[in-house]
Amino acid sequence: MVAAATDEQIVQAVHAVGTEPTLNRVFEGMQSRFVPDRAQGVDAEIQFVIQDEGSEHAYLVSIHDGACSVTRGPAEDPKVTLTSDLVSFLKLVAGKVGGPQLFMTGKLKISGDLFFATRIMGFFDTVDA
């Protein structure tokens, strides 16, 4: 859906289902798309904050001992925090736009370990969205 849709169409589709249910499915999918071999030696908590219509939706992706888990809510001390608007986030996880491009255009804000942030999406297979 993300590849062929306009930004407005993406927003409409997500809002028709609901932002939280959509994000819950995306983050659940990240666990199944996690590739442990790509994250060897990684021990980190990654905070994602997705902004939509004045609300923030926080998710914590934990990578420890070759496994990935996701929880809803803010992290106390993540290695890195990635903050983005809804459409940019969906394009990022679908592999339709890269993190550096979003960062350079101000659509992705990063706090914490910037170098580590450049590696994160490589820990996961992309999804056809």
Chunked mean pLDDT (size 10), the chain, 129 residues = 82 94 94 94 96 96 95 94 96 88 95 94 77
Q: What range defines the domain where residue 83 resides? A: 7-119
Q: Residue 101: inside a domain, yes or no?
A: yes
Number of domains in the chain: 1
pLDDT for 57: 97
In 3D space, the residue among 79, 77, 86 whose CA is nearest the CA of residue 26 turns out to be 86
Q: What H or E segment, with its residue span, contains residue 29? A: helix 19-33
pLDDT of residue 2: 72
The answer to the question of residue 128 being in a domain is: no
pLDDT at residue number 1: 63
CATH of the domain at 66: 3.30.1050.10
| pLDDT at residue 44, rounded to an integer | 96
**β-strand partners of 57:** 50
* Residue 71: strand, helix, or coil: strand
Q: What pLDDT does 129 receive?
A: 44
For residue 47, being part of any structural domain is answered with yes
Assigned domain for 44 exists: yes
The pLDDT of residue 73 is 92
Q: Is 125 left (phi over 0), alpha (psi -120 to 50) or beta?
A: beta
- pLDDT for 62 equals 96
Nearest-angstrom CA–CA distance, 24 and 39: 22
